[in-house]
Amino acid sequence: MPKSSQLSGFYKLSPKQRLALIKECADLTEEEANLLQNTGPLPLEAADRMVENVIGAIPIPLGIAVNFLINNKDYLIPMAIEEPSVIAAASYAAKMTRDGGGIHTTSTSPVMIGQIQAINIKDPYSARMQILLAKDEILKTANEQDPVLVKAGGGAVDVDAKVIHTTQGSMLITELYVDCQDAMGANAVNTMNEAVAPLIERITNGQVLLRIISNLATKRLARASCIVPKQSVGGEQVVDGIVNASAFAAADPYRAATHNKGIMNGTIAVVLATGNDHRAIEAGAHSYAARTGHYTSLSTWEKNKNGDLVGTLELPMAVGLIGGAVRTHPTARLAVKILGVKTANELAEVCTAVGLAQNLGALRALAHEGIQRGHMALHARNIAITAGAIDEQIETIAAKMVEERKIRVDRAKELLDKYKTTGKI
Ligand code: MEV
């Protein structure tokens, strides 16, 4: 059968009808198709209301990181992630931070920035001044769009404008600052942006093009810090190793990318578990890491005069507790319940604290015994499963491969054959 990706009217079908079509196009068996429809706690109809062209759902493991003490409060941290070792490392690192009193966090008001791009302006600097002078009118128009947010204590709070020079000439960018309270804010900000656009055109005599939120949320920051006693981290040598690892990441973008990826392992797992927009957080984090023009590490690790380790992490953190999948995904709602956070700011601070602990876990392993030892046990289990091992065979074969330091599917298959025929390896 010729296979085409042009499936006219696909979006109009029900999820079951779509799956039937995909089953045919991709030669799926009955069993495979059933697997896709087994959407667990997220009913197919709910998934269909969340995004387009739904045929199923993909479960990601949800684990709980333990030992977290943040601002003297205990938290059980739900983490959604497919990578082995991350949750174990977060729990282990949280235990180390606990010895020094836990992690302490702060955050700014939940202010997001909306951008309105205006082009073809004769005198952009003069137009900029006109925008600043019209601040009250712009804020009033913006706030008329969202009386609920305003009533909750949020809404558009400030206006700024900047002239930028591009390959297409000068442009005037108006920035609307919106306090989003417990929402992530993209909808509120984009609606306000669109509503004030005609006003911007009238004031500047220019043409408005883009009207969209910025994910570089520099007005919505969360900061986490901790002091880890040197004995908890493994001694002064390990402290020095971590400080040197931090200096490496600060100076070299190739290392900074991986260092920051390690932070995101923790932060994004919480963001995803709570149904928030993890792409927005990643975009914000990496652009924040490059805000000086030089991509660098998001965290710093130093040694204090006692020889203890002091870590800090600051991130733009646009997460919410209302709107989007946070409310519509049943598992996300439960994750929020387990976490016990009451405000978006509290969630933002927890996500940052987990990023800091995750970073500590990775750097400690890297600066001490290397990352592979911890990784390998779980990796070996996955390889054993790939080779066809089931039940107790998995552990037996994984343990043997780790012992031999030969973690490969071909070796797992050999061991499995031997185990099946002789009952031992
Ligand atoms: C792996 O997912 C994350 C690490 O590479 C982070 C790091 O290198 O800091 C271990």
Convert the pLDDT of each residue in 25-46 to its tens digit: 999 999 999 999 899 999 999 9
Angle subtended by helix axes 135-144 and 124-133, to nearest 10: 60
Rounded Cα distance, 93 and 361, in Å: 5
Q: Kindly state the DSSP code that residue 183 receives in the 8-state scheme.
A: B
Residue 375 pLDDT exceeds 80: no
Active site residue 259: no
Q: Which of 174, 127, 182, 112 is closest to 346 using CA atoms?
A: 182
Write the residue with the smallest CA distance to atom 10 of ligand 1.
362
> pLDDT value at position 2?
45
Percent pLDDT > 70 in the chain is 98
For 359, the token pair is: 């970073």
Average pLDDT over residues 120-129: 97
Residue 265: CB within 6 Å of ligand 1? Answer: yes
Give the position, in ligand 1's atom list, of the atom nearest the Cα of 363: 9
> pLDDT value at position 271?
98
Inter-residue contact 267 to 352 (CB < 8 Å): yes
- Encode pLDDT of 244-277 as tens digits: 999 999 999 999 999 999 999 999 999 999 999 9
Active site residue 83: yes
Inter-residue contact 298 to 288 (CB < 8 Å): yes
Strand-by-strand arrangement of the 169-179 sheet: 155-166, 169-179, 111-119, 207-214
Write the residue with the smallest CA distance to atom 4 of ligand 1.
262
Q: Which residues of 184-222 are buried (b: 16+ CB within 10 A; e: fewer)?
A: bbbebbbbbbebbbebbeebbebebeebebbbbbebbbb
Residue 262: CB within 6 Å of ligand 1? Answer: yes
Active site residue 252: no
pTM of the model: 0.90
Rounded Cα distance, 290 and 245, in Å: 19
Residue 268: CB within 6 Å of ligand 1? Answer: no
Write the residue with the smallest CA distance to atom 6 of ligand 1.
262
Rounded Cα distance, 381 and 402, in Å: 10
Q: Kindly state the DSSP code that residue 298 receives in the 8-state scheme.
A: S
User: CA dihedral in degrees (190, 192, 197, 198; nearest 10)?
Assistant: 140
Task: List beta partners, residue 183.
Answer: 322
Per-residue confidence band for 17, with pLDDT thresholds at 50, 70 and 90: very high
Percent pLDDT > 90 in the chain is 92
- Distance, CA 255 to ligand 1 centroid (Å)? 10
Q: How much is the mean pLDDT over the chain?
A: 95
Give the strand pairing for 299-303 and 309-316: antiparallel
Residue 258: CB within 6 Å of ligand 1? Answer: yes
- Distance, CA 341 to ligand 1 centroid (Å)? 28
Task: List beta partners, residue 170.
Answer: 165
Cα–Cα separations (whole angstroms), residue 337 to 63, 183, 194, 334: 14, 17, 35, 5
The number of beta carbons lying within 10 Å of the beta carbon of residue 7 is: 13
